Structures are given as C-alpha cells and as structure tokens.
C-alpha cells in the first residue's frame, strides 16, 4: 500500500523536490541539517570540506559547528520510490507508454522516436532501450563508454585526434584526449574529467557561497546607506524646523522692538510738541505785553502835556518782567538714546539665543546614543571595573590580569567593548569629583605597550583634565581649553564619515572642542583613563551614564 501511495503521490511532486541542490541528482542518503534543508550526505560533507564556514548552501545560515548527519529515512524512501518510478517510465516499451514525453530522442528510431536512454561516446549516437541492447550484449560494444543522454556528442571529441575528451589539462585549462597527453600536453598536469569535475563543482559551490555572502554584505551596506540617508533627511528637517522657529522668534522680537521703539519715538515727539506749544504760548503772552507797552510809549511820545509825560515815563520806560529765552530750545535728538537702548536690548536678546544653539545641537546629537560597556580584556592591571562594566577607577594594587596584546601595560586606560566603523555614535561619562581624567576614542591598531602619546597621528582623539582645572584637547599641537564651568558630565560624539570627534559639557549644554577633518579607516573604540589615584584625591570613578534623550528646549524671547 505504501508503494502504491508513493507512486500515486509522485505524480503530484515535481522532480526538483527530489534533487540535491549540490549534485543536482536524485537524493542519495539524504540528510537534514538544522536549518531544515536536505542534501546528499556525501555532497554536504564535501561542500563543508571545501569551505571555511559551516553554513547551508541554500539559505547561507551559519552553523556553530558541524552537526551529526543521520539519513532521513522518510525522504530516502520517497527518493527511492521516485527513482524507481522514473526508471519504469524510461524502460517501458512503446506499446506500454506511447505518450511518453522525451527530452532527447533516439538517433536510430524511425517514425516515432523514443526517448534516448544512453549516449555512446564511441559511436557518437544516442540510443533508446531497444537500440541500446547490442551495447549490452556484444562484447566489442560493451567496451564503449556509455553516459546519460546528451546532445552534440561531436563536441565531446578531440578535433585533432578524433578521440574522446576524457581528460582535463590543468596547465592549459582545457579538455584533452588520451593522445593529446602523449604529444603537446605530455608534460602538463592532466587528470580525468571526473576528478576535475568533482573539484570544480566543489570550487563552484564555495565560489557561489562567497558570492552570496558578498551579495548579502552589499545588500546590508545598501540598507545602512539608506538608513543613514533617512536619518540625515530627518535631521535636516529637524534643523530646518528649529532654524525656522529661531528666526521666526527673532523676527517677532525685532518687530516688537521696532513697534516699541516707534511708540517711544512718537511719545517723545508728542512731548516735544507739547513743550514747544507751552514755550510758544509764553512767548506770545510776553509779545502781547511788550506790544501793549510799545503802544503806550508811542502814544506818550506824542503828548504835549509836560506833567503827564514826566509822571508816566518812569513806569513805562521800565521793561515788563520777561524770561531769558537764550538758553531755551526744543531738542531734535530726543530719540537717539531710545534707539540706542532698543538696539542694545535686541543685541542682548540675540546673544542669548545664540547661546542656546549648542543646546539644540546637543539635543540632536543625543539621538545617536549607544550603550557602551568597558572591555576587561583591554583594562590595565591597576584599574578596577564595576561588575556592570560601567565604571572604572584606579586601584591601589595590581590585579592578576594576563599581559595580552590588547592590554596597555603603562597607561592606566581601558577601551569600550564595541568598536564602530561607520555612522555616528554618542555616549556620556560622569567625571564629577575627579582632578584628572582622559576621554575620547582610539583606533583599533593603537600601540598599547610602553609609553603612549595621545595624538591623532598615534590614533587617539582625546581631551584631558589635569590639576583639577587645566583642560586640553590633545591635537597636534595640543590646544588649551578655557571653560567657563567645570564639566561634571562629558558627552563624546563621533561622526565617522564626516571625520569629526566632538566633546560637550552635558549639564551646561555647551560645546567643549571638536577634532575635524579626520580620516578614519578602521574601527574606533571609546577610550577611558581615570588616571592615578593621587592618594585619594582622584579616587572618584569615571562612570558611563545613561543618556537623557528627553531634553526640553523652548525658545523664548
């Protein structure tokens, strides 16, 4: 019943389902590997023997170690039944299977051509089962080389000697016949075609695996670049939004200052006009009084009454009381001071907003925060690491860490576990309570033995603190840093593609220093040096701190 069911089910299954993807033939001793794919036992062993990686030829899943291989009995029975079914179809007579679909026809058949069962490399002819019979019976024909049916048999013959191409010349990389090895290829390295076929097939499998790996690497790189472009686009949009907000608020401030200035100028003008009106009114009153006195004097000058003139003259000749107007004026520059004060206030506002820009930039940079853990394999024997790998301090006694190539033997430093060879990354370190420290990044190939020089030429991009107040960027030459405040927490940001390493005072939201125009060609690792204890004065640890990515920023003018 099983065979009948298998035979009937074989018509529902395609030939490809019973083929090994390595040898492209029906499974022989099929085995399943952990990823679920199936191969001939010998094929998968041969594939792994010629590959540096133990991986699946189909899905490229890498295995930690070679698994034990056991024949899958179910697939083995299915393959055997399929092979038997194919053989029955191939050997059936024309009367039994008149509708068989042939892939390569018999060269001898006339009329309806039957499917060729074998091709003879001596006769250069393909035969069906009936016409193949003499090659299985006649002794002379039995010595002929039979292969599975192939087309263009003449291409398998040496054009020079008319002999079968059954050898491969590795020297000239070409197929040759036996006579060729006795003439032109006599001293060459020749092997049977089957041997070269096996090695070439294994090589092709390995090459194909390498190609797939290269494809996957490039697909990954494409995704990384696309992701980088997306991040850059979002960052540009945020920067545009922030810039628009800043300039919008500045324009509003200018417009408000302008309106206030115009209002002040207009009020000053009105006050000046009121002052002028009062002065004019007083002057007009005095003019009226003087005109009246002038009229009286003129009338008195025409009188003939001696007594009246003498009696009136003393009082009329005395000028009426008036104000000294020589020092009184209405000033036209009453608004100059107001304009100057308004411009000064605007300049002060603008300066305050410019000071806020580093805070905006730091907030943007903090989105690239990574989780940094200290690598004990790189820690100097005199430094002590916390269990979680987030703190490092200088200890009083030397530990028994082995002196490996990754470990510094002089400078009391330690590196981060993870290195970075692309993109951007950021981390923060608490330096509170320390009088000395060194922070930054270092390339993978730095010299870790003997005296170390901290400079970009030697693979270090760092800043340091000495004596509790002397800050330096260790470029070439080093740059003294004048900081308004003593940083309690330092942020380190790296843009690998842009060649930039920047340091920030996290709490003050201010920029400390940037190395720019750098060229990075290998992995960069976070670098930490807590420096010597100094009899307890510098005992505080360097602490890798979680990044607060919820900073608030409200622009107010």
pLDDT digits (tens, 9 = 90+) for 476-489: 889 999 998 899 99
pLDDT at position 355 is 58
Q: What is the mean pLDDT of residues 76-82?
A: 80
Q: Which of 90-99, 288-297, 339-348, 545-554 has the lowest average pLDDT? A: 90-99
pLDDT at position 189 is 94
- CB neighbour burial string for 364-394, b if at least 16 within 10 angstroms, e if fewer: ebbebbeebebbeebbbbbbebeeebbbbbb
pLDDT at position 448 is 86
pLDDT above 70 (res 499): yes
Q: Return the percentage of the chain with pLDDT > 70, whole number.
A: 88
pLDDT above 50 (res 552): no
**pLDDT-derived band at 215, boundaries 50, 70, 90:** very high
Helix, strand or coil, per DSSP, at residue 1: coil
Rounded-to-integer distance, Cα 383 and Cα 399, Å = 8
| Residue closest to 510 by CA, chosen among 356, 349, 350 | 356
Tokens of 330: 């209405």
* Inter-residue contact 380 to 408 (CB < 8 Å): yes
- The second-level CATH assignment, the architecture, of 1-91 is 2-Layer Sandwich (3.30)
pLDDT above 60 (res 32): yes
More confident residue, 350 or 281: 281
Mean pLDDT value across the chain: 83
pLDDT at position 335 is 58
DSSP state of 331: -
Spell out where 400-535 has E strands: 414-415, 424-430, 437-443, 460-466, 470-473, 479-481, 489-495, 500-505, 510-515, 524-529
**pLDDT-derived band at 88, boundaries 50, 70, 90:** low
pLDDT at position 7 is 41
Rounded-to-integer distance, Cα 344 and Cα 537, Å = 46
Which superfamily does CATH assign the domain made up of 369-545 to?
Answer: SPRY domain (2.60.120.920)
Q: What is the mean pLDDT of residues 168-192?
A: 92
Task: Return the C-alpha torsion angle 357, 361, 366, 368, nearest 10.
Answer: 180
pLDDT above 80 (res 225): yes
Q: What is the mean pLDDT of residues 177-188?
A: 90
Rounded-to-integer distance, Cα 342 and Cα 353, Å = 17
Alpha carbon separation from 89 to 92, 97, 100, 414 (Å, rounded): 5, 8, 8, 72
Tokens of 314: 């003393």
What are the tens digits of pLDDT across the range 529-541?
999 988 889 999 9
């Amino acid at each position: 019943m099983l065979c009948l069911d298998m035979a009937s089910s074989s018509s529902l299954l395609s030939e490809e389902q019973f083929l090994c993807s390595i040898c492209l033939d029906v499974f022989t001793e099929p085995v399943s590997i952990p990823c679920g794919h199936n191969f001939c036992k010998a094929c998968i062993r041969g594939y792994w023997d010629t590959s540096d990686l133990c991986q699946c030829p189909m899905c490229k899943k890498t295995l930690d170690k070679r698994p034990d291989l056991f024949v899958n009995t179910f697939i083995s029975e299915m393959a055997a039944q399929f092979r038997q079914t194919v053989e029955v179809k191939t050997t059936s007579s024309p009367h039994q299977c008149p509708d068989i679909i042939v892939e390569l026809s018999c060269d001898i058949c006339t009329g309806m051509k039957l499917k060729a069962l074998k091709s003879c490399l001596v006769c250069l002819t393909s035969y069906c089962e009936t016409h193949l019979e003499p090659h299985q019976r006649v002794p002379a024909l039995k010595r002929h080389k039979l292969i599975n049916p192939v087309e263009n048999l003449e291409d398998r013959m040496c054009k020079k000697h008319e002999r079968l191409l059954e050898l491969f010349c590795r020297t000239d990389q070409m197929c040759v016949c036996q006579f060729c090895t006795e003439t032109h290829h006599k001293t060459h390295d020749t092997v049977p075609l089957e041997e070269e076929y096996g090695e070439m097939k294994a090589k092709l499998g390995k090459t194909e695996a390498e190609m797939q790996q290269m494809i996957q690497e490039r697909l990954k790189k494409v995704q990384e670049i696309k992701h980088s472009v997306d991040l850059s686009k979002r960052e540009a949009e945020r920067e545009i939004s922030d810039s628009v907000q800043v300039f919008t608020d500045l324009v509003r401030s200018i417009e408000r200052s302008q309106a206030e200035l115009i209002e002040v100028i207009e009020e000053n003008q009105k006050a000046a006009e009121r002052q002028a009106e009062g002065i004019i009114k007083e002057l007009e009153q005095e003019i009226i009084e003087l005109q009246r006195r002038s009229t009286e004097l003129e009338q008195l000058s025409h009188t003939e009454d001696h007594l009246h003139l003498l009696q009136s003259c003393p009082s009329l000749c005395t000028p009426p009381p008036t104000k000294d107007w020589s020092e009184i004026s209405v000033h036209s520059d009453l608004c100059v001071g107001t304009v100057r004060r308004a411009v000064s206030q605007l300049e002060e506002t603008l300066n305050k907003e410019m000071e806020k820009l580093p805070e905006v930039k730091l907030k943007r940079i903090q989105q690239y925060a990574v989780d940094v853990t200290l690598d004990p394999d790189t820690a100097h024997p005199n430094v002590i690491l916390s269990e979680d790998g987030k703190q490092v301090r200088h200890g009083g006694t030397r530990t028994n860490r082995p002196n490996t190539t990754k470990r510094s033997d002089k400078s009391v430093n330690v590196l981060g576990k993870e290195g970075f060879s692309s993109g951007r990354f950021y981390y923060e370190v608490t330096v509170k309570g320390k009088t000395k420290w060194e922070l930054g990044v270092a390339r993978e190939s730095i010299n870790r033995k003997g005296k170390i020089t901290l400079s970009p030429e030697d693979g270090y991009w760092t800043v340091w603190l000495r004596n509790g107040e002397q800050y330096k960027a260790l470029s070439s030459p080093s740059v003294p840093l004048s900081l308004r405040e003593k940083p309690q927490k330092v942020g380190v940001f790296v843009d690998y593609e842009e060649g930039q390493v920047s340091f920030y005072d996290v709490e003050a939201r201010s920029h400390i220093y940037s190395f720019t125009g750098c060229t990075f060609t290998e992995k960069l690792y976070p670098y930490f040096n807590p420096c010597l204890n100094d009899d307890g004065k510098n005992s505080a640890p360097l602490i890798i701190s979680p990044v607060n990515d919820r900073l608030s920023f409200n622009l107010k003018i």
